[in-house]
Structure 1
Amino acid sequence: MNDLFATHDALAVGELVKARKVGVRELVEGSLARLRKLNASLNAITDFYEGELLDKSVAAGSEGPFQGVPFVVKQLMADCAGTPTTLGSKFFAKQPVASADSAAVARMRRAGLVIVGRSNTSEFGLAPTTEPVFGGATVSPWRKDLSPGGSSGGSAAVVAARGMPMAHATDGGGSIRIPASLSGLFGLKPSRGRVSLAPIGETLAGAGAQLCVSISVRDSAALLDVLAGGEPGDPYRAPAAEGTFLDATQREPGRLRVAFMRKPVGGAPLDPVLVGAVERTAKLLADLGHHVEEAPPDYDAAATGAAFGTVMCANTFTNIQIRAGGRVPGPGDLESVTRLYAERGRSVSAGDYIRAVQTFHRTGRALGAFFEKYDVLLSPTIARTSLPLGSVRMDGSLEQYEEGLAPMVPFTAVCNASGVPAMSVPLEWTPDGLPIGLHFVGRLGAEEMLFSLAAQLEQVRPWRERRPPL
């Protein structure tokens, strides 16, 4: 098991199980033993399943494309029956206990995935790092003084260390793509409404999405085939795909119109290392036959950021109330920034909230117009080359937190506000060998095109052999 996930992605492991070359119990028990060893260094998994809980997971993963493949579900936006979803918070450590799987988790099980535990997240997913007080900091397998990013950092760290080939991840402002970038993984945020969030209706006024981080493009595509599609009463539905997302990875993307950015919209110049990464990737795309030119989109980045703050605060306050069922957080139950966000959210008026949602929609229309002219927008995923532990503070003031947050989301959050799909692809590396994710954005519903492009890039500039030292 120590070498299996270094050489096989999730689909390949599923094929071994179907061919009876590997037994499910052997696979799961061997994987759990390795995961426990890795977790002693990474602190990426908060809960390991055992006993009846594990037996049920194994029984449920008896068929499908990922038959028998071990999998962890992030402690946010997805419920697993019989366990609490902690949201990375002491306040929800023991209750409420989920009475049923969320719709996406039920589909994961039907696809053969064996859920063996839950992965670490920042509290309420508010930070683009994974350093909650409850559960402790997750460490990057690339370097022990670095964070793997967040808020899906637990999933990213364990996949980067090849503890498993893919893991569940969620994204409300960049939380799939940021840890994918910092961990040397592939991560795609689907279009709004592509994957149902049932039984809840939406997250962050439609900004929230879920899928995974993975070592291969095709694993993410195949998982999206499994998870895509609405549930009765969903408030959003993404445009229907023409075929399967997995099939899209097997065909050429055609000649795409690619725009690239050397700096964030309305933002400061980037580190030259990041500018060089964008320029080399732009040249690579041109060499592959795509039309490439520098052309940033035109939207009000400051207004979009302010709207995000309003929506995040209002959701934090309201979701605590709803989920707590009348319980009131005590003095030590929430981290400082979470508490401050909730207090600010209490004062958000209906008018403030509606104006914030309307700003999201204006931003979406601006990007919609941009993607009438271009197929893809290229940039770095984040405006940093690494993330030292402690860079994003959740234990101080909102000003400290927002200062740490700013360079993490200038390229990612707009995709959540507008609902468009976007992906981080590990194509570049810093001079000292750390991964750099390149960010590719498409129009609403364009996941097939993005997967096709990602597979092309994976073929000409593969990354699977670039593994962290841990």
Structure 2
Amino acid sequence: MTRVSAFTDDALGDLDAVGVVDALAARRVSKAELVEAAIARTERVNPELNGLAHEAYDRSRRRAAAPRPYGGYFDGVPTYIKDNVAVAGMPLMQGTDAWEPRPGTADGDFARDFLATGVVPLGRTRMSEFGFSGSAEHPRLGSVRNPWNPEYTAGASSSGSGAFVAAGVVPIAHANDGGGSIRIPAACNGLVGLKPSRGRLPLDRETRAMPLHIVANGVVSRSVRDTAAFLREMERVTPNPKLPPIGDVRSPSDARLRIAVCTQSITRDASPEVTELTLKTAALLEELGHHVTTISNPVPAHFKDDFLLYWAFLAMAIVRGGRRMFGPSFDRSKLDNLTLGLDRAAARNLHRVPAAIARLARSRRITAALGRQYDVVLNPTLAETTPRIGHLDPTGDYEQIMDRLIAWVGFTPLQNATGDPAISLPLARSADGLPVGMMFATTVGHEARLLGLAYELEDAAPFASLRA
């Protein structure tokens, strides 16, 4: 198996983002050295991984060389921003080439607050078209590949961010999640990926306009402490008084939790291999003193159809409103078969959309009831191990793509509908050596509970890495 790693003996070394902050404070490295190291790493591995959507190297060099610090805990830490939030000066293409790129005129709400933490963005990372697929395999832009083995997908939709962080290009990168798009690439690439509670972090105006807010911004990282530090710093910049504060979580929790484990998704049982790995994680939790109970899938059968119809409705809004959203150069003939198939599905079932949205909004009752019995629910992040490039080829037949996609990602959409937080941790490896993620979910507002458990599991079963 050929791995793609950017780790080397430069200013970044094998540091995570908190380690970079410490190195900057101790003056062992400079911001300029870190930016140059990240640029060099990008150039070295991007030909194989194809994770770069847009480079802004000159901008990052200017930011690193500014005579006055930008402020924020992460001041000087190089990063990338996914290609679906507004950033001044960077084109926004959302994983497609269906219109002419043009520089953004202003930072969106998320980028504004993310940049206030001090990060230095080197550009944008690739994603699947509009985030609809769990694998970024574009017919003209190419596929984003997994650094553990480039024959396999890096997951999606935050695919470029996942590939680059795992490969060591940058220690932390923006991701967001509307159906699993933080957790899926985290699972595929061996990373920590936490989807925050609804309302925890800001959304851009267009995303806020959705009738049901299924999207949440966040990051992928190589360590629990990086994700915890990101949430802490974002909470300082943009607190939400309607949610319990996360605070500064730096260590495992002493609480022994009631944990439910379920290996049945909304569509199927997990594969035998993934089921076995999940039960091994459950056994580890028991060894650590947690109270583990096996449960059946509590999600009603109509949830799958409702979520798919809502996704299709969002695709229809893009396809039919593309010129208004993206300008006169928008060309729907350049869209992939998955996007166009979703558009057709919505058009056939438009009368059913309001009821589907209403049922999805009520799905929070399911997890609220679970939350009265259990503190955390453990599922595998994905029902099968990571597929090869081509398995979710968006130029294929729509029905085949959708059947394969739903079978693979059936565990992640629930928290997008309910607004609950969930974290994928790289606690397992498949027989072919690829990472397998384990997902832990809890009720709205309790990210600190997930972080405390994640620290404990990271200590008990240290995460594998592509470090040289």
Query: In structure 1, how many angstroms separate the alpha carbons of the residues matched to 2:156 and 2:59?
Result: 31
Could you say which residue in structure 2 is the equivalent of 1:304?
Answer: 303
Query: How many percent of aligned residue pairs carry the same amino acid?
Result: 32
Query: In structure 1, how many angstroms separate the alpha carbons of the residues matched to 2:249 and 2:58?
Result: 39
Question: Does the 8 Å contact 1:239/1:444 carry over to 2?
Answer: no
| Deviation for aligned residue 1:56 | 4.4
Question: Does the 8 Å contact 2:245/2:445 carry over to 1?
Answer: no
Question: Does the 8 Å contact 2:319/2:340 carry over to 1?
Answer: no
Letter in 1 for 2:23: L
Query: In structure 1, how many angstroms separate the alpha carbons of the residues matched to 2:32 and 2:343?
Result: 44
Query: In structure 2, how many angstroms separate the alpha carbons of the residues matched to 1:427 and 1:239?
Result: 32
User: Which deviates more, 12-21 or 177-186?
Assistant: 12-21
Distance 1:407 1:258, change over 3 A: same
Query: In structure 2, how many angstroms separate the alpha carbons of the residues matched to 1:204 and 1:398?
Result: 25
Question: Does the 8 Å contact 1:84/1:92 carry over to 2?
Answer: no
Question: Does the 8 Å contact 2:99/2:330 carry over to 1?
Answer: no
Query: In structure 1, how many angstroms separate the alpha carbons of the residues matched to 2:374 and 2:225?
Result: 25
| Deviation for aligned residue 1:416 | 0.7
**TM-score under structure 2 length normalisation:** 0.91
Could you say which residue in structure 2 is the equivalent of 1:18?
Answer: 25
What SS does the corresponding residue of 1:428 show, helix, strand or coil? strand
Flag structure 1 segments of 5+ consecutive residues without an equivalent.
Answer: none
User: Which deviates more, 168-177 or 6-15?
Assistant: 6-15
Q: 1:37 aligns with which of 37, 40, 44?
A: 44
CA RMSD of aligned residues (A): 2.4
Q: 1:214 aligns with which of 210, 221, 241?
A: 221
What SS does the corresponding residue of 1:7 show, helix, strand or coil? coil
Could you say which residue in structure 2 is the equivalent of 1:397?
Answer: 397
Question: Does the 8 Å contact 1:253/1:449 carry over to 2?
Answer: no
Could you say which residue in structure 1 is the equivalent of 2:328?
Answer: 327
Give the alignment of 1:340-419 within 5 angstroms.
340-346=341-347, 348-349=349-350, 351-419=351-419
Could you say which residue in structure 1 is the equivalent of 2:249?
Answer: 248
Could you say which residue in structure 2 is the equivalent of 1:317?
Answer: 316
Distance 1:52 1:440, change over 3 A: closer
Letter in 1 for 2:71: E
Correspondence 1:185 to 2:191: yes
Question: Does the 8 Å contact 1:61/1:110 carry over to 2?
Answer: no
Could you say which residue in structure 1 is the equivalent of 2:73?
Answer: 65
Could you say which residue in structure 2 is the equivalent of 1:50?
Answer: 57
Query: In structure 2, how many angstroms separate the alpha carbons of the residues matched to 1:224 and 1:43?
Result: 28
User: Which deviates more, 14-23 or 78-87?
Assistant: 14-23
What SS does the corresponding residue of 2:363 show, helix, strand or coil? helix
Question: Does the 8 Å contact 2:126/2:144 carry over to 1?
Answer: yes
Query: In structure 1, how many angstroms separate the alpha carbons of the residues matched to 2:49 and 2:65?
Result: 25
What SS does the corresponding residue of 2:334 show, helix, strand or coil? coil
Give the alignment of 1:71-470 within 5 angstroms.
71-76=79-84, 78-95=85-102, 97-200=103-206, 201-203=208-210, 205-228=212-235, 239-244=242-247, 247-265=248-266, 267-300=267-300, 302-320=301-319, 322=321, 324-325=323-324, 327=328, 329-330=330-331, 332-346=333-347, 348-349=349-350, 351-463=351-463, 465-467=464-466
| Deviation for aligned residue 1:182 | 0.9
Distance 1:100 1:162, change over 3 A: same
Distance 1:406 1:370, change over 3 A: same
Correspondence 1:7 to 2:14: yes
Distance 1:110 1:323, change over 3 A: farther
Question: Does the 8 Å contact 2:71/2:117 carry over to 1?
Answer: yes
Query: In structure 2, how many angstroms separate the alpha carbons of the residues matched to 1:268 and 1:311?
Result: 21
**TM-score under structure 1 length normalisation:** 0.91
Distance 1:386 1:328, change over 3 A: same
What SS does the corresponding residue of 2:260 show, helix, strand or coil? strand
Distance 1:176 1:52, change over 3 A: closer
Question: Does the 8 Å contact 1:385/1:430 carry over to 2?
Answer: yes
Distance 1:422 1:204, change over 3 A: farther
Letter in 2 for 1:324: R
Q: What per-residue deviation string (whole Å, max 9, x for no partner) do you get for residues 253-284 of structure 1?
A: 5010000013324x433322212211111111
Letter in 2 for 1:187: G
Letter in 2 for 1:71: T
Flag structure 2 segments of 5+ consecutive residues without an equivalent.
Answer: 1-6
Query: In structure 2, how many angstroms separate the alpha carbons of the residues matched to 1:52 and 1:8?
Result: 23
Query: In structure 1, how many angstroms separate the alpha carbons of the residues matched to 2:42 and 2:390?
Result: 25
| Deviation for aligned residue 1:317 | 2.3
